[in-house]
Amino acid sequence: MPELTYREAVCKALADELRSDPDVIFFGEDVGEAGGVFKVTPGLYEEFGPNRVRDTPISEQAILGSALGAAITGLRPVAELMFADFIPVAMDQIVNQIAKYRYMSGGRLRTPLTVRAAQGGGVGFGTQHSQCAESWLASFPGIKVVSPADPAEAYGLLRGAIRDDNPVFVLEHKLLYSMKGEVAADAGPITLGKARIVRPGKHVTVVALQLMLQRAVEAANLLATEGIDVEVIDLRCVSPLDRATVLTSLEKTGRIVVVEESPSGAGWGGDIASLAADEGVYFLDAPVKRVNMGMTLTPYSPPLEDAAVPTTARITDAIRSVMHGYRRS
């Protein structure tokens, strides 16, 4: 299988959808001739021209308002927000328009729009350019939220998002853009809302996304040398949430650790903990453990940022701690 970087996989997914459907259009700040601020979209402007790949003014409100208008009038737009941190600038369009338009039309109007945004810490961009946005968006019914963890996932999930008839936010982690991985030549869209088991195990379930998934796998491989067999789930989508995969794994292992690159307050990890306590309480051999940033902002200082964002060592310690919980009789 050919090897692509995460950014190349995103670009290939966009190009393949633009080629396969003339209704697909793509626009955002500096995405055209410049190829994107993270150099994710080079060559698209040259191949598809200014009518289908278009640079926009610096206005998140205009970008998302235009995307909604294009979607409800028959196109299939893909809009890029340079940083996920800028999502709140357009929150009225997102919360009161994009999320609700199909519902308020009684399902008669489709809203097939995709919004891409770069997110996450680890690159020293400071407090206003390092946040993860899953939990902001997942609280709004009507929006799907996708977080690819590797190049193959970035390719398949983005194509699945573009083909979905509902609004989808695809959040791409900045620190993963250079990550390399195999992407099958015949790979197609991935259906949204289905988690995947990245590493089977029998002692502890770990649920994570994106960069935290990579660190969870590292932790699981380290703990295997201690005889602790960890099952790692890539949640893929925070909304819709694949409750069945999480509960099936918890029933098998009896323990669960949730890893988030975000503050603890109102985080999506709380939804997983609630699911385990509500529907999986009789499976539990130990309390649910959450690993996250606590109630702190992302520091600019590299050492402080490293201390705030969950590390492989913190995840490893959390998994060890749940192994000492009570056991079912």
Active site members: 60, 129
Which single residue is written with the structure tokens 């982690």? 173
Q: Where do the H-state alpha helices sit in the chain?
A: 6-20, 44-48, 60-72, 91-92, 101-104, 134-138, 151-163, 210-224, 243-253, 268-279, 302-308, 312-322
> Using an 8 Å Cβ cutoff, are 126 and 85 in contact?
no
Rounded Cα gap, residues 211 and 219, in angstroms: 13
Sign of CA dihedral 82, 145, 14, 178: positive
53 forms beta bridges with 26
Residue 181 amino acid letter: G
Phi, psi of 116 (to 5 degrees): -100, 145
